[in-house]
């Protein structure tokens, strides 16, 4: 830095819960300043009733973006629409947001939402538009008890610096390694841990309801809109002291059925290409067999097309999907994945061209087949890294997720080609494929069993597994277990096992993708 340059400030915010009276002035001042629609919030005050009468209290948490130094949303954003300014503010540019919701999935605090008016992601940005003209953020200005202040951590004379350095302060979820720039003073453990407090029943909070509910009033959780995540622990909560969530806002699941389905179509594409090529390579099939020559590339291309269509359809700005390539942010696995899928699609297309060219291109096609294998594998497993960028979603942080996705691709591929083999190449290729299917199903079942049985280190992961197996996802999960186990018997059942395996896999992937997002983060 040149000597004449003023050092950029390092903005930090202090939320002093020892002064907060839970009045929600910050909530509406923010709505007003930033024109935030009904149904979404940049900031609000969560409250937890702690203790038992008469030793009880209501603990508050002003809940919002944490302005992380290592912001998972920034890493996950494919277009750098979400970015960190030199002064520490994690800001966003709605003009280049494609609405992929990767930032929402990535945020360990569930502080980002899609604005229903402009369909772009937004969150608290410390009122950067005010800071830049010398004004305090709207929530700071409005707060009756001066419980919210901002300051420059680089300026030791600032009040924020003094408190952060001299007083016991906390940040939310430090174990996520995000290095938040928002500090809490006097916050209660029962608010800082999103799973500390028990979720009340009956769709109620103390003076509000938990989320969209059907007309008529009473609404068991299962009847509420499927995309709503209600805060609080559905069981006992992790707090040793009695703790009941008394207020929170409705939260939405970032990724719905399209993303669940995409993981499945992608597995079919990858496996549908790789399994015939491997069968050919291992000598179970001739390279000229129709399954190898036509089915492999067509399965890959068709399912990649569906995959791409699903991904684009899931964007809140589908017309901006090209920004993934033109404004690509390499750290985002969404970008890397798009490139991998593109590369895999290109190889598959070339392979198909070679098939069309006929026998003369046989050698080239073999080469393309071998070259396609690593890309098929990458296409299958990159989602593990994409999900891994969702730092708050503990279920998705498993090191076994990548190999598991490879196994799922093998399962999907073996299943997808089985009826084709039975039709076009009866004989030992079918037997081999049935064996692959049986083994893949068995390994998949074992990995799932391990996932379920393994003692998870975090309450979040335990709750996610609970959501998958016994909670909101129990139906698809239960079906998937039955069907997958049935598919292990492929050598005996034959072709029908393919349908069982594919349906089972679809059920599992949906349960897994959704359960990972069903655990409250706020």
Shortest Cβ 108–other proteins spacing (Å): 24
Q: Which is nearer to other proteins, 97 or 459 (CB)?
A: 97
Contact between 93 and other proteins (CB under 8 A)? yes
Which of 156, 168, 217, 455 is the binder for other proteins (CB under 8 A)?
217
Q: What is the DSSP string of 352-396?
A: HHHHHH-GGGHHHHHHHHHHHHHHHHHHHHHHHHHHHT-TT-GGG
Which of 69, 119, 128, 452 is the binder for other proteins (CB under 8 A)?
128
Pairing of strands 169-170, 182-185: antiparallel
Q: Which stretch binds other proteins (CB under 8 A): 198-206, 342-350, 458-466, 467-475?
A: 198-206
Which of 1, 2, 3, 35 is the binder for other proteins (CB under 8 A)?
35
Q: Which is nearer to other proteins, 34 or 263 (CB)?
A: 34
Which residue pairs, CB below 8 angstroms and at least 24 apart, start in 439-443? 440/407, 440/408, 440/410, 440/411, 440/414, 441/411, 441/484, 441/485, 441/487, 441/488, 441/490, 441/501, 441/504, 442/488, 443/407
Pairing of strands 90-92, 82-84: antiparallel
List b or e across 436-469, with b for residues whose CB sees 16 or more CB atoms inside 10 angstroms: bbbbbbbbbbebbeebeeeebeebbbbbbbbbbb
Which DSSP state fits 113? E
Q: Which is nearer to other proteins, 128 or 364 (CB)?
A: 128
| Contacts (CB under 8 A) with other proteins, residues 58-87 | 58-60
Shortest Cβ 518–other proteins spacing (Å): 19
What whole-number distance in Å separates Cα of residue 148 and Cα of residue 136?
A: 10
List b or e across 188-208, with b for residues whose CB sees 16 or more CB atoms inside 10 angstroms: bbbbbbbbbbbbbeebebeee
Shortest Cβ 168–other proteins spacing (Å): 17
Site string for other proteins, 5-24 (x = CB under 8 A): --------------x-xxxx
Site string for other proteins, 474-513 (x = CB under 8 A): ----------------------------------------
Helix (H, G, I), strand (E, B) or coil at 35: coil
Contact between 3 and other proteins (CB under 8 A)? no
| Contacts (CB under 8 A) with other proteins, residues 338-367 | none
Whether the CA torsion 124, 128, 130, 136 is positive or negative: it is: positive
| Contacts (CB under 8 A) with other proteins, residues 152-171 | 152, 155, 158-160
Which of 2, 218, 326, 455 is the binder for other proteins (CB under 8 A)?
218
Q: Which stretch binds other proteins (CB under 8 A): 90-98, 364-372, 409-417, 474-482?
A: 90-98
What whole-number distance in Å separates Cα of residue 160 and Cα of residue 154?
A: 10
Contact between 237 and other proteins (CB under 8 A)? no
Could you tell me how many residues of this chain bind other proteins (CB under 8 A)?
84
Which of 72, 88, 203, 297 is the binder for other proteins (CB under 8 A)?
203
> Residue 225 CB: number of other CB atoms within 10 A?
13
Contact between 244 and other proteins (CB under 8 A)? yes
Which of 2, 215, 319, 453 is the binder for other proteins (CB under 8 A)?
215
Element spanning 84, H or E = strand 82-84
Q: Which residues, listed in sequence order, are joined to residue 49 by a DSSP beta bridge?
A: 58, 244
Contact between 212 and other proteins (CB under 8 A)? yes
Shortest Cβ 17–other proteins spacing (Å): 10
Q: Which stretch binds other proteins (CB under 8 A): 27-35, 267-275, 403-411, 442-450?
A: 27-35
Shortest Cβ 251–other proteins spacing (Å): 12
What whole-number distance in Å separates Cα of residue 320 and Cα of residue 80?
A: 13
């Amino acid at each position: 830095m040149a000597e004449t340059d003023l050092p950029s400030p390092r903005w930090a915010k202090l939320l002093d819960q020892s002064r907060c009276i839970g009045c929600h002035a910050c909530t509406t001042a923010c709505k007003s300043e930033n024109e935030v629609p009904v149904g979404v919030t940049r900031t609000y005050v969560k409250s937890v009733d702690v203790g038992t009468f008469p030793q009880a209290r209501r603990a508050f948490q002003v809940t919002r973006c944490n302005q992380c130094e290592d912001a998972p949303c920034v890493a996950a954003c494919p277009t750098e629409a979400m970015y960190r300014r030199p002064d520490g503010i994690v800001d966003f540019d709605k003009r280049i947001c494609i609405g992929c919701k990767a930032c929402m999935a990535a945020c360990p605090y569930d502080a980002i939402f899609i604005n229903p008016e402009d369909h772009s992601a937004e969150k608290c940005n410390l009122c950067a538009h005010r800071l830049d003209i010398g004004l305090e953020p709207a929530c700071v200005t409005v707060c009756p008890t001066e419980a919210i202040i901002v300051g420059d951590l680089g300026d030791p004379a600032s009040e924020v610096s003094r408190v952060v350095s001299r007083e016991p302060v906390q940040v939310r979820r430090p174990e996520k390694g995000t290095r938040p720039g928002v500090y809490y003073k006097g916050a209660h453990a029962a608010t800082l841990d999103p799973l500390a407090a028990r979720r009340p029943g009956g769709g109620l909070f103390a003076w509000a309801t938990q989320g969209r509910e059907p007309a008529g009033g009473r609404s068991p959780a299962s009847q509420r809109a499927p995309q709503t995540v209600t805060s609080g622990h559905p069981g006992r909560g992790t707090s040793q002291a009695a703790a009941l969530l008394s207020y929170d806002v409705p939260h939405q699941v970032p990724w719905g059925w399209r993303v669940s389905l995409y993981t499945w179509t992608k597995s079919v594409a990858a496996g549908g290409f790789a399994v015939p090529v491997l069968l050919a390579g291992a000598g179970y099939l001739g390279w000229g067999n129709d399954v190898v020559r036509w089915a492999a590339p067509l399965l890959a291309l068709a399912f990649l097309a569906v995959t791409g269509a699903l991904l684009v359809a899931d964007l809140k700005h589908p017309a901006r999907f090209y920004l993934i390539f033109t404004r690509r942010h390499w750290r985002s696995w969404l970008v890397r994945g798009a490139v991998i899928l593109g590369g895999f699609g290109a190889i598959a297309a070339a392979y198909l061209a070679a098939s069309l060219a006929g026998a003369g291109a046989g050698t080239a096609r073999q080469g393309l087949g071998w070259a396609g294998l690593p890309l098929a594998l990458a296409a299958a497993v990159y989602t593990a890294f994409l999900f891994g960028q969702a730092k708050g979603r503990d279920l998705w942080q498993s090191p076994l997720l990548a190999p598991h996705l490879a196994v799922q691709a093998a399962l999907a591929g073996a299943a997808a080609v089985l009826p084709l083999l039975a039709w076009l190449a009866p004989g030992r290729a079918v037997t081999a494929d049935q064996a692959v299917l049986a083994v893949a199903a068995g390994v998949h079942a074992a990995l799932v069993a391990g996932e379920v049985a393994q003692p998870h280190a975090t309450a979040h992961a335990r709750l996610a597994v609970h959501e998958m197996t016994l909670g909101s996802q129990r139906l698809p999960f239960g079906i998937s277990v039955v069907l997958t186990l049935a598919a292990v018997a492929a050598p005996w059942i034959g072709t029908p096992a393919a349908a069982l395996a594919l349906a089972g896999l679809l059920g599992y992937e949906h349960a897994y993708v959704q359960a990972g997002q069903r655990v409250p983060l706020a």
